[in-house]
Amino acid sequence: MFDVLRNSWALLLGMMLLMLGNGLQGTLLGVRGSIEGFSASQMSLVMSGYFVGFLGGSRMAPHLIRRVGHVRVFAALGSLVSALIVLYPVAPDPWIWTAMRVLIGFCFSGVYVTAESWLNNASTNENRGKALSVYLIVQMIGIIAAQGLLNLGDPSDYILFIIPSVLVSVAFAPILLSISPAPFFETSKPMSLVGLVRVSPLGAVGTFLLGGVFSAQFGMSAVYGTEAGMSVAQISLFVSMIFTGGMVCQYPIGWISDRMDRRVLICGLAGFAGVFLVIPVFFTVGFPVQLAMAFLMGGVSNPLYSLIIAYTNDYLESDDMAAASGGLIFINGVGASTGPLILGWVMGQVGPNGFYGFIALLMFALSGYAVYRMTQRPAPRAEDTTSYAPVGQTASPVAMELAQEIAIEMANDAAGSEDTVDKKAEC
Per residue in 116-138, pLDDT (tens digit) is: 777 767 666 666 667 777 788 88
The pLDDT confidence band at residue 6, using thresholds 50, 70 and 90, is low
Report which secondary-structure segment, H or E, holds 254: helix 232-257
Whether the predicted pLDDT of 38 surpasses 80: yes
**How many Å apart are CA 41 and CA 345, to the nearest integer?**
6
Helix axes 201-227, 287-313, angle to 10 degrees: 160
Residue 383 pLDDT: 57
CATH architecture for residues 2-419: Up-down Bundle (1.20)
Cα atoms found within 13 Å of the Cα of residue 263, Cβ hemisphere only: 22
Q: Report CA-CA distances (Å) from 210 to 4, 17, 202, 222, 336.
A: 30, 26, 12, 19, 8
Residue 358 pLDDT: 94
**How many Å apart are CA 223 and CA 256, to the nearest integer?**
34
Which is more confident, 406 or 423? Answer: 406
**How many Å apart are CA 97 and CA 79, to the nearest integer?**
18
Per residue in 182-210, pLDDT (tens digit) is: 555 555 556 677 888 888 888 889 999 99
H helices of 283-395, in order, are: 287-313, 318-350, 354-374
pTM: 0.85
**How many Å apart are CA 193 and CA 326, to the nearest integer?**
9
How many C-beta atoms lie closer than 10 Å to residue 374's C-beta?
16
Cβ pair 49, 99 in contact under 8 A? yes
- From the centroid of its chain, how far is CA 135? 12
Cα atoms found within 13 Å of the Cα of residue 316, Cβ hemisphere only: 29
- Closest among 96, 363, 51 to 218, alpha carbons compared: 51
Break the chain into its structural domains and give their ranges: 2-419
**How many Å apart are CA 350 and CA 343, to the nearest integer?**
10
Torsion of CA 224, 228, 230, 236, to 10 degrees: -10
**How many Å apart are CA 181 and CA 172, to the nearest integer?**
16
Cβ pair 11, 114 in contact under 8 A? no
Per residue in 230-250, pLDDT (tens digit) is: 999 999 999 999 999 988 888
Per residue in 332-365, pLDDT (tens digit) is: 888 999 999 999 999 988 899 999 999 999 999 9
Could you write out the DSSP letters of every residue in 50-110?
HHHHHHHHHHHHHHHHHHH-HHHHHHHHHHHHHHHHHHGGGS--HHHHHHHHHHHHHHHHH
Cα atoms found within 13 Å of the Cα of residue 422, Cβ hemisphere only: 6
Whether the predicted pLDDT of 424 surpasses 60: no
Residue 421 pLDDT: 46
Per-residue b or e along 27-51, where b marks 16 or more CB atoms closer than 10 Å to that residue's CB: bbbbbbbbebebbbbbbbbbbbbbb
Cβ pair 17, 143 in contact under 8 A? no
- Closest among 232, 207, 210 to 222, alpha carbons compared: 232
**How many Å apart are CA 411 and CA 413, to the nearest integer?**
5
Coil, helix or strand at residue 392? coil
Whether the predicted pLDDT of 399 surpasses 70: no
